[in-house]
Amino acid sequence: DAGVIQSPRHEVTEMGQEVTLRCKPISGHNSLFWYRQTMMRGLELLIYFNNNVPIDDSGMPEDRFSAKMPNASFSTLKIQPSEPRDSAVYFCASREGAPGELFFGEGSRLTVL
């Protein structure tokens, strides 16, 4: 298996633009997580899905952030409008079932100017 695949790996955008990050979990995994990593706050859980259903989105910073999982093999995290403070590395992770190993993608590094 190719592992968790994220795109884009790097994105540089200007403040106010819409950003869409994509994730393809490992086939057969039924839980998907979105994390954000910054120097100041470490690794923060933004939202997670179980069987394509959002279970906990309490970590989503504000209404500018939204996440969807239309099917078992695809998820998006959207920021609209983006702000400089959204600059971070965004990780997607998936697992087959609790409490199984969480497999991480390589991350999407977002820079908002």
Partner 1 sequence: GEDVEQSLFLSVREGDSSVINCTYTDSSSTYLYWYKQEPGAGLQLLTYIFSNMDMKQDQRLTVLLNKKDKHLSLRIADTQTGDSAIYFCAESSRYGGATNKLIFGTGTLLAVQP
Residues that bind partner 1 (CB under 8 A): 4, 31, 33, 35, 41-43, 45, 48, 50, 55-56, 91, 93, 98-99, 101-102, 104-107
Task: Report d(CA 48, CA 31) in Å as an integer.
Answer: 7
Nearer to partner 1 among residue 13 and residue 50 (C-beta): 50
Nearer to partner 1 among residue 43 and residue 113 (C-beta): 43
8 A C-beta contact, residue 21 and residue 90: yes
Nearer to partner 1 among residue 45 and residue 73 (C-beta): 45
SS3 100: coil
101 Cβ partners below 8 Å, 6+ apart? 95
* In the complex, minimum distance from the CB of residue 67 to partner 1, in angstroms, rounded to a whole number: 15
Token pair 């093999």 is at which residue? 73
Closest CA to 57 of 42, 46, 41: 46
* In the complex, minimum distance from the CB of residue 31 to partner 1, in angstroms, rounded to a whole number: 6
* In the complex, minimum distance from the CB of residue 15 to partner 1, in angstroms, rounded to a whole number: 25
Task: Report d(CA 100, CA 84) in Å as an integer.
Answer: 35
* In the complex, minimum distance from the CB of residue 95 to partner 1, in angstroms, rounded to a whole number: 8
Nearer to partner 1 among residue 11 and residue 106 (C-beta): 106
